[in-house]
């Protein structure tokens, strides 16, 4: 009997000391696609949340409480995401929901959150209508699809002043919506759309379509492509010596290191829109990118930066919130005004959006085989190169 | 006017070069089809394996992808022989309700190869950035005042040339050597070949090996101008399938002509209809060949020969 009580006392003491670092913990479940076709992005985001969690806990957590994250696999399916959200709100009584990757899943959760009056922070879903439905409880930190290319457009307006554009895009949701947006922007400009051509992902030879573009002599060639198509396109443009004033990519395939590795000198001077890059000047961005690379041998995509920053926003909101109830958190979230590694965050109601964060999207240019931020000028790491030399004048 | 001529000629050049490479993919499949009477649906996946061989040789030892042809083709030959001997041959002997269960087996082999590649090499996209990747020759370099500008890509031309050399080598092998003649005999009439003392079982294995080696060579020629990921096989299996049908189910001459036709047709649809139509065009040509020319290009060739 005596022995028992000693064990009790020891284990009690152990528990007490272990717990003394953090008196309490606060637990959040994050829905993410951990299996299925979007699993790669789910993984990037999961790792980024974990990096943020460790940093925050190392600095004392939130109001002295340790943050504990668990991840719920939505498989990238809206109906699964929906049921996860219902469970978190109804059963777990989690006062705030954040996470998910795709637009369709984010949309499903947004509907549940609004109905149950629980704040939801959208981290990566980019379809415009998520924050256009006058939802009071749904906030979004990432710019919407329609604003992805806004930095590029302002670069066009102020520097390039093109009269005509040729648009090539992959025949997927991403490619099509990117191309449609550019057409809309071109009408406003005004700039004449000479060609708008889609291609099947995985095409080997772009020369036929590029020859056609060449014969039309556009000022700008704008391409929306994934991974390797981007470098094939630029290599074949160089081969055919198509001399446009500017070659522009719509993020994705043009904004990743593989693009330069694979296209080499054909990548030089190409500009691309992007939401974020490891080179951006926001505080903490470079540190996060390097830490991620050290752990996982690769730089994170902008999705990683969004997830990483999301947890910092949550921490900031919880610190300011008067009470950790859904309504207390909603009020605090509305008052957010901070700069994260992803960029400045403020949730505004304007242009038909509610609780939407508007921020400058960036333009990168490949200069000397490196991505450099060139636009907006206040974030520039290097001065843009324009006009660019003609192909035959390059070495 | 000049611009239109330039556009047409440039498209023709692209289509011809692409067609030459397509022909090499189709050739291996047609050969296997001719001898074994089965469509090898793992064909593109075998090509993927060869591309990984070329990729790793380039990345680890800086061996030029064109030189890795000499490593990848023998390797693929033995892989092909092994597959035929230990997997396909035993299945051919089994009586089953499905008449072509060896075709289903090739689908399975393809899936396994693609999944193994994903497990070992991840699903990341890879490429071999060779220094001459976007080098090209231009008409104006040779003829200063040319009214039009045409370009000829260096790696594409090199790949095309290598494809032609491999094809010619195959032709010599099939027409001049004993083994080659035995393979053709097996393709023409298995029973007669058996009676003439041809070891049909060995010929099958050799044929599958050669088919795999051919598409392996095609893989090495493709990687400098394309890129690589584990599930790329399907796309090229489709190309090979269309060419085999277009060429006439097992005819090697037919496959070469079919490949070039498909290459030019795809390029022309891309230029004049739009690139989104290229896969539709491929499918159309496939159906058209089945309906209007069931014997493929080979039947036209045969008619001409008989006419003489």
Tell me what pLDDT residue B96 has: 67
How confident is the model at residue B125, as a pLDDT? 82
Task: Answer yes or no: do B10 and A207 touch at CB < 8 A.
Answer: yes
Same domain, yes or no, for A288 and A256? no
Cross-chain Cβ contact B15/A208 below 8 Å = yes
From the list B151, B222, B275, which residue is nearest A240 (CB)?
B151
| Domain spans in chain B, listed from the N-terminal domain onward | 2-307
Cα distances from A353 to residues A84, A110, A119, A269, in angstroms, run 26, 14, 16, 35
Query: Which DSSP string do the residues of A294-357 spell out, in sequence order?
Result: HHHSS---HHHHHHHHHHHHHHHHHHH-SSSSHHHHHHHHHT-EEE-SS-EEEEEEETTEEEEE
Minimal Cα–Cα distance from A169 to chain B, Å?
Answer: 10
> A326: pLDDT confidence band, cut at 50, 70 and 90?
very high
Residues of A with CB under 8 A from a CB of B: 40, 171, 197-200, 202-209, 211-212, 214-215, 227-228, 231-232, 235-236, 238-241, 258, 261-266
Give mean pLDDT, residues A158-171.
92
- Report the pLDDT value the prediction gives residue A6, as an integer from 0 to 100: 59
Eight-state DSSP code of residue A219 = S
Q: CB–CB of A266 and B133 under 8 A?
A: yes
Task: Compute the count of residue pairs across chains A and B with CB atoms less than 8 Å apart.
Answer: 100
- Asked if the structure places residue A5 within a domain, the reply is no
> Is residue A91 predicted with pLDDT exceeding 60?
yes
**What is the DSSP code (8-state) at residue A394?**
-
Nearest chain A CA: its distance from B260 CA (Å): 14
Distance CA A155, CA A376 (A): 8
Question: Chain A residue closest to B267 (CA)?
Answer: A208
Range of the structural domain that residue A370 is part of: 149-274+361-393
Instruction: Say what the pLDDT of residue A21 is.
Output: 55
Q: Please, what is the average pLDDT of chain A?
A: 88
Instruction: Classify residue A130: in a domain, yes or no.
Output: yes
Across A66-80, A297-311, B120-134, B263-277, least confident range:
B120-134
ipTM: 0.86
Provide the pLDDT confidence category of residue A12 given band limits of 50, 70 and 90.
low
- The helix/strand/coil state of A1 is coil
The larger pLDDT score, comparing residue A357 to residue B146, is at: A357
* Cβ contact, residue pair B11, A208, below 8 Å: yes
Show residues of chain A in contact with B134, CB under 8 Å: 235-236, 238-239, 263-266
* A386 within some domain: yes
- When pLDDT is averaged across residues A287-305 and rounded to a whole number, the result is 91
| Residue A262 and residue A382 share a domain | yes
Q: What is the pLDDT of residue B9?
A: 93
Residue window 129-188, chain B: list those with CB within 8 Å of chain A. Answer: 129, 131, 133-136, 138, 149, 151, 153
| Residues of chain A neighbouring B271 (CB-CB closer than 8 A) | 208-209, 211-212
pLDDT at A20: 46
Average pLDDT for A118-123: 96
CATH number of the domain where residue A327 is located:
3.40.50.2300
- The reply to whether A208 and A263 lie within a common domain is yes
CB contact under 8 A, B7 and A205: no
Q: What number is the average pLDDT over the span A231-240? A: 92
B64/A contact by beta carbon, under 8 A: no
Q: Which of A199, A208, A232 sits opposite B14 (nearest CB)?
A: A208
Contact between chains at A204 and B6 (C-beta distance less than 8 A): no
Question: A197 and B10: CB-CB below 8 Å?
Answer: no
Which residues, in sequence order, are CB contacts of A393 under 8 Å at separation 6+? Answer: none
Residue A247 parent element (H or E): strand A246-250
Q: Which of B3, B129, B271 sits opposite A264 (nearest CB)?
A: B129
Residue A1 belongs to some domain of the structure: no
Nearest chain B residue to A264 by CA distance is B129
Arithmetic mean of pLDDT, A300-328 = 93
Q: How far apart are alpha carbons A43 and B148 in whole angstroms?
A: 51
Same domain for A199 and A258, yes or no, is yes
Task: Render pLDDT for A247-278 as a digit per residue (tens, 0 to 9).
Answer: 999 877 788 778 888 888 999 999 998 888 88
**pLDDT above 90: percentage of residues in chain A:** 57
Inter-chain contact B14–A265, Cβ cutoff 8 Å? no
B279 touches chain A (CB under 8 A): yes
Of B11, B133, B149, the CB nearest to A264: B133
Q: What is the DSSP letter of A159?
A: I
Q: Is A12 inside a domain boundary?
A: no
Closest CA–CA distance from residue B3 to any residue of chain A (Å): 6
- Residue from B14, B123, B154, B272 whose CB has the most chain A CBs within 10 Å, to mutate: B14
Number of domains in chain A: 2
Q: Which of A202, A205, A239 sits opposite B235 (nearest CB)?
A: A202
- The answer to pTM > 0.90 is no
A117, part of any domain: yes
Q: Which of B18, B123, B271 lies nearest to residue A212, judging by beta carbons?
A: B271
For the segment A137-160, the average pLDDT, to the nearest whole number, is 89
Q: Say yes or no: B238 contacts chain A, CB-CB below 8 A.
A: no
3-class secondary structure, A140? strand
Q: What is the pLDDT of residue A22?
A: 67
Answer yes or no: is A115 within a domain: yes
Residues A126 and A172 in one domain: no
Question: Which band of pLDDT confidence, cut at 50, 70 and 90, is reported for residue A7?
Answer: low
CATH number of the B2-307 domain: 1.10.3470
Helices (H), chain A: 2-20, 39-58, 78-90, 103-115, 150-155, 173-188, 207-216, 227-240, 257-263, 285-296, 302-320, 326-334
Q: How remote is the C-alpha of A89 from its chain's centroid?
A: 26
Q: Residue range A138-165: average pLDDT? A: 89
Residue A14 burial (C-beta neighbours within 10 Å; 0-12, 13-18, 19+): exposed
> What pLDDT, in 10s, does the model give residues A107-119?
999 999 999 999 9
Residue A264 lies in a domain: yes
- The contacts of residue B11 (CB under 8 Å, 6+ apart) are A207, A208, A211, B267, B268, B270, B271
Residue A240 has pLDDT above 50, yes or no: yes
Distance from CA of A139 to the nearest CA of B (A): 33
A205 and A78 in one domain? Answer: no
Residue B18 to residue A205, Cβ atoms within 8 A = yes
Which residues in chain A have Cβ-Cβ distances shorter than 8 Å to B225? Answer: 204
* A189 lies in the same domain as A257: yes
Q: Do A211 and B4 touch (CB under 8 A)?
A: no
Nearest Cβ partner for A211 among B7, B18, B226: B7
Contacts with B270 from chain A: Cβ below 8 Å = 205, 208-209
Q: Do A265 and B134 touch (CB under 8 A)?
A: yes
A189 shares a domain with A247: yes
Q: What is the pLDDT of residue B280?
A: 84
Q: Cα distance from A242 to chain B (closest Cα, Å)?
A: 11
Taking an 8 Å cut-off on Cβ atoms, the answer to whether B276 and A197 are in contact is yes
What pLDDT score does B293 carry? 85
- Subunit contact B6:A215, Cβ cutoff 8 A: yes
Residuewise pLDDT in 10s, chain B (308 residues): 788 899 999 999 999 999 999 999 999 999 999 888 888 999 999 999 999 999 999 999 999 999 999 999 999 999 999 999 999 888 877 776 666 778 889 999 999 999 899 889 877 788 888 888 888 899 888 888 888 889 999 999 999 999 999 999 999 999 999 999 999 999 888 889 989 888 988 999 999 999 999 999 999 999 999 999 888 998 999 999 999 999 887 788 899 999 999 999 999 998 898 888 888 888 888 898 889 888 888 888 888 877 65
Q: What is the pLDDT of residue A9?
A: 58
Whether A208 and B232 lie within 8 Å, measured CB to CB: no
């Amino acid at each position: 009997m005596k022995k028992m009580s000693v064990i009790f006392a020891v284990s009690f003491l152990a528990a007490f000391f272990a717990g003394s670092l953090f008196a309490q913990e606060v637990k959040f479940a994050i829905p993410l696609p951990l299996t299925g076709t979007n699993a790669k992005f789910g993984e990037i985001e999961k790792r980024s949340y974990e990096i943020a969690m460790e940093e925050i806990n190392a600095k004392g957590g939130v109001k002295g409480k340790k943050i504990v994250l668990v991840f719920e696999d939505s498989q990238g399916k809206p109906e699964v995401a929906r049921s996860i959200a219902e469970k978190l709100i109804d059963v777990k009584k989690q006062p705030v929901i954040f996470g998910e990757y795709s637009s369709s899943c984010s949309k499903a959760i947004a509907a549940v959150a609004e109905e149950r009056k629980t704040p939801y922070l959208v981290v990566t879903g980019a379809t415009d209508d998520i924050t256009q439905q006058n939802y009071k409880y749904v906030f979004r930190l990432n710019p919407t699809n329609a604003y992805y290319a806004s930095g590029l457009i302002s670069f066009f307006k102020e520097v390039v002043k093109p009269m005509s554009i040729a648009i090539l895009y992959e025949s997927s949701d991403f490619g099509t919506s990117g191309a449609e947006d550019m057409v809309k922007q071109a009408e406003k400009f005004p700039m004449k759309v000479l060609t708008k051509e889609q291609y099947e992902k995985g095409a080997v030879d772009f020369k036929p379509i590029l020859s056609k573009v060449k014969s039309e002599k556009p000022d700008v060639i704008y391409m929306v492509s994934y991974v390797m198509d981007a470098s094939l396109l630029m290599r074949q443009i160089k081969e055919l010596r198509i001399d446009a004033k500017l070659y522009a990519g719509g993020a994705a395939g043009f904004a990743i290191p593989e693009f330069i590795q694979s296209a080499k000198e054909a990548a030089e001077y190409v500009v691309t829109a992007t939401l974020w890059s490891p080179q951006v000047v926001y505080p903490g961005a470079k540190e996060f990118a390097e830490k991620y690379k050290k752990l996982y041998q690769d730089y994170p995509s902008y999705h990683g930066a969004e997830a990483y920053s999301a947890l910092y926003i949550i921490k900031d909101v919880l610190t300011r919130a008067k009470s950790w109830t859904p309504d207390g958190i909603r009020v605090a979230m509305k008052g957010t005004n901070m700069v994260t590694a992803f960029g400045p965050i403020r949730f505004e109601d304007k242009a038909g959006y509610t609780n939407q964060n508007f921020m400058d999207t960036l333009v990168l240019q490949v200069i000397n085989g490196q991505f450099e931020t060139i636009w907006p000028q206040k974030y520039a790491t290097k001065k843009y190169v324009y006009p660019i030399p003609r192909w035959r004048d390059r070495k | 006017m000049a611009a239109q001529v330039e556009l047409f000629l440039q498209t023709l050049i692209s289509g011809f070069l692409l067609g030459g490479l397509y022909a090499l993919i189709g050739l291996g499949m047609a050969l296997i089809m001719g001898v074994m009477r089965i469509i090898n649906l793992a064909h593109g996946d075998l090509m993927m394996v060869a591309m990984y061989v070329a990729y790793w040789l380039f990345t680890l030892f800086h061996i030029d992808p064109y030189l890795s042809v000499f490593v990848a083709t023998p390797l693929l030959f033995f892989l092909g022989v092994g597959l035929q001997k230990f997997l396909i041959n035993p299945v051919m002997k089994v009586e089953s309700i499905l008449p072509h269960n060896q075709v289903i087996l090739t689908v399975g082999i393809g899936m396994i190869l693609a999944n193994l590649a994903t497990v070992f090499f991840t699903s990341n996209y890879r490429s071999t950035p060779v220094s001459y990747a976007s080098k090209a020759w231009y008409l104006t370099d040779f003829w200063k005042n040319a009214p039009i500008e045409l370009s000829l890509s260096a790696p594409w031309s090199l790949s095309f040339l290598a494809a032609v050399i491999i094809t010619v080598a195959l032709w010599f092998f099939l027409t001049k050597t004993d083994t080659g003649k035995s393979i053709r005999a097996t393709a023409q009439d298995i029973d007669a070949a058996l009676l003439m003392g041809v070891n049909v079982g060995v010929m099958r294995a050799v044929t599958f090996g050669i088919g795999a080696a051919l598409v392996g060579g095609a893989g090495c020629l493709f990687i400098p101008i394309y890129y690589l990921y584990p599930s790329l096989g399907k796309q090229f299996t489709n190309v090979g399938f269309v060419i085999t049908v277009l060429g006439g189910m097992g005819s090697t001459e037919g496959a070469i002509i079919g490949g070039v036709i498909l290459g030019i047709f795809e390029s022309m649809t891309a230029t004049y209809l739009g690139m989104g139509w290229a896969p539709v065009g491929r499918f159309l040509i496939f159906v058209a060949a089945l309906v209007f020319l069931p014997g493929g290009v080979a039947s036209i060739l045969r008619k001409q020969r008989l006419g003489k």
